[in-house]
Amino acid sequence: MTPFGEALRELRRRKGVSQQQMAAAIGVTPSYLSALEHGKRGKPSFDFLQRVAGYFNIIWDEADDLFRVAYASDPRVVVDTAGLPPEYTALANRLAKQIRTLSPDMIEQLMKLLENAQIRD
């Protein structure tokens, strides 16, 4: 599941809406919604996100959060290390190879490390 899939499922749960009901209302198939929620589809289009925001009548901050999460939820990431030192490419490849074996604690530690590095920039 992606962060967007989790957010979409939570929105549906809070509003008491099934995938079938939501799909019919916004003009997509229930299987498409299911694939989004389970991380089997790439990030949704801007148009789709607008329809979701309109359907749930969410505005401003909550809509911005939904869009931000959607854009950070592509399950197939490409890391371009062209022009960077070899260590960067090695890190990207190692992470790609080992990501499925990392524990939730390790993911949390890596996220904190990256957040701290971003704060210093």
Report the CATH number that the domain containing residue 18 is assigned in CATH: 1.10.260.40
pLDDT of residue 120: 66
Q: What is the DSSP string of 64-100?
A: HHHHHHHHT--SS-----TTS-HHHHHHHHHHHHHGG
- Asked whether residue 36 falls in the same domain as residue 90, the answer is no
Task: Please indicate, yes or no, whether residues 62 and 9 belong to a single structural domain of this protein.
Answer: yes
Inside any domain, residue 76? no
User: CA torsion angle for 112, 116, 119, 121 (degrees, to 10)?
Assistant: -130
**Overall average pLDDT of the 24-35 stretch:** 95
- Residue-wise pLDDT tens digits, 63-114: 899 999 998 887 778 899 999 999 999 999 999 999 999 999 999 999 999 9
Same domain, 57 and 97: no
Domain assignment present for 80: no
Task: Count up the domains in the chain and report the number.
Answer: 2
Residue with tokens 């299987």: 31
pLDDT at residue 43 tops 90 = no
The residue type at 72: A
**Residue 67 and residue 91 share a domain:** no
- Domain presence at residue 77: no
- Domain containing 106 equals 86-120
pLDDT for the residue 73: 84
